[in-house]
Structure 1
Amino acid sequence: DKKFYGFLAPRAGEIKSPGREFLNEAVRISVKIKENVVGRDFREGGLRKILNLGHTFAHALETSSGYRNISHGEAVGSGMIDAVELSSYLGLCGQDAAAKALSLIESAGFRRIKIDGKTLLKLIMSDKKVIDRNPVFVLLKGPGEALVKELPVKALKKWLKH
């Protein structure tokens, strides 16, 4: 959501501040956005998928850890970093937009969780969202703008090796 991004970006440093006012407002707005998206796509036919930015990577991380040692939030934060970097690599969003998104994600305290590329690929390919042997990702198009993309497995392998 572009408007929410505009709210968060200039105040990113406040996300982890001791005061709860900013965090409470950010959560309130994000819940309203989610409610709006779910209301428009209750059966998850298309639009609702954009709420899953980072989840394809996150599910692989959670599986690799045996659902221990990594919280869902940490896995999604790391997955969002991967999704933004993959988006930039594919040319879906500019480097400036990717850098701003990464800065915002990292300002919330999230870091990339390392996992072997072969293991990551294997786990992603076992995800329920794989279509015709191609994984499906929610990727970044621009600030506050996501898209759902089926990615040829060859492209994913190339990115993992770069």
Structure 2
Amino acid sequence: METQRIEYSRSTMTEIIIGNGILKEFSVRLSRLTSARRCAVITNETVAKWYLEPLKEELANRGFSALEIIIPDGEKYKNFETVISVLSELSKNQIDRDCVILGLGGGVICDITGFAASIYKRGITLALVPTSLLAMVDASFGGKNGVNTSEGKNLAGTFYQPALTCVDVSFLLSLPLSQLSYGVVECIKHGLIGDSAYYKFLCNNISEIRARQLDILQRVVRRSVYIKKSFISKDELDKGVRAHLNFGHTFGHALESAGGYIRLNHCEAVGLGMLMAIKTSAALGILKEDYSEQLKIVLRELELPISLPTEISVNSILAYIAQDKKRNEKGLAFVLPVSPGKTLIQHIKSDDLEKIVTIATQI
């Protein structure tokens, strides 16, 4: 018998540019990624009305011809059917491997575009232009992408890094307050897992953020990008420390799924998920500093829920948690808080899940 081994090297890098009114600079940097001057822009009906033409104009100034692929708006369209329709448009319009696929929009667009780019012709250059605060600090970099199935959220996906991400904070001036609040929840999560001073800064500047003070918003984006970068640069493929970024998400994804992706927005669910994680941590004797009341105050300021919808039951949460992709032979991995700025990973066995979920829902 003979054994041969192949060692692969994986070298990827994402360049993130952050600023105010930077689409021109984005198009300049994009032109350096490829000699091809054809690209595809994937966006949704809502974002297209605001930002598609300004983006296409800047792309045209650098010689790019852009194919528009406009998909319906909403989490319920983050599925295989949408991805297949995108792949069909790319193929019919002869988008080649030396072209670039651009995602212009929020988290759903970033996920769908990243997934499509990763599997179309076995990988094509990806660039993202996030238009929501949530996408700016989360979905537009880090490489996680995917789609939902009838069994749960993000159960199919890949790791595929964008070559270039453009974070233009001026887009936030047109963002509805509810969408701005959703992004702040993700930023709060970053503070709670890695920087207690940043968490306090957010708590003290909610009014300025909601007033869309761009200097404050740019500071927020910069810090959240830095914190997330500190986790993912050490663990690109989510085998270790990156798991801390799932704080609030194990419960949150189950709540989203139980509500049919209609009853709760992603960040409404994550906000509740963080409160549930605090409750769980206290019950297990892990929590050293209970900040749940302060977090509830901030969520109220953001006009977000602090209690579970009555129609979502313990059994429905359990049904979706059972499908969570973070389950292994040790049990289901939960990110639980110790104190502001510090979390740990705790595995909970299947036999204990019903008890834990019952306790967690009593927020």
Please point out which of 329, 342, 353 is paired with 1:145: 342
What residue is the counterpart of 1:14 in the other structure?
207
Q: Which has the larger radius of gyration?
A: 2
What residue is the counterpart of 2:308 in the other structure?
113
1 CA distance for matches of 2:276 and 2:205? 20
For residue 316 of structure 2, give the secondary structure of its aligned residue in structure 1. Answer: helix
Task: Tell me by how many angstroms 1:117 deviates.
Answer: 0.5
| Mapped contact 1:136–1:148 kept (Cα < 8 A) | yes
Task: Tell me by how many angstroms 1:157 deviates.
Answer: 2.0
The residue type paired with residue 308 of structure 2 is I
| Mapped contact 2:326–2:333 kept (Cα < 8 A) | yes
Sort the Cα spacing of 1:138 and 1:62 in 2 relative to 1 into closer, same or farther, 3 A: same
Sort the Cα spacing of 1:16 and 1:128 in 2 relative to 1 into closer, same or farther, 3 A: same
Please point out which of 318, 321, 326 is paired with 1:129: 326
Task: Tell me by how many angstroms 1:132 deviates.
Answer: 2.5
| Mapped contact 2:246–2:335 kept (Cα < 8 A) | yes
For residue 147 of structure 1, give the secondary structure of its aligned residue in structure 2. Answer: strand
The residue type paired with residue 337 of structure 2 is L
| Mapped contact 1:138–1:147 kept (Cα < 8 A) | yes
Q: Please state which structure has a larger fraction of its residues in strand.
A: 2
Give the 4+ runs in structure 1 shifted more than 6 A. none
- The structure, 1 or 2, with the larger RCO (C-alpha pairs under 8 Å, 6+ apart) is 1
Instruction: State the number of aligned residues.
Output: 161
RMSD: 2.4
What residue is the counterpart of 1:67 in the other structure?
261
Unaligned runs of 5+ in 1: none
| Mapped contact 1:54–1:76 kept (Cα < 8 A) | yes
* % identity of equivalent residues: 32
Please point out which of 269, 281, 288 is paired with 1:87: 281
| Mapped contact 1:140–1:146 kept (Cα < 8 A) | yes
1:25-80 Cα offsets, whole Å, 9 max, x none, are 22321111112211121121211111111111121122222223432222212212
Unaligned runs of 5+ in 2: 1-193
1 CA distance for matches of 2:238 and 2:325? 14
Task: Tell me by how many angstroms 1:154 deviates.
Answer: 3.9
1:68-117 Cα offsets, whole Å, 9 max, x none, are 34322222122122112212222211353343344444443332333201
| Mapped contact 2:289–2:340 kept (Cα < 8 A) | no
Give the TM-score of the pair, scaled to structure 1: 0.82
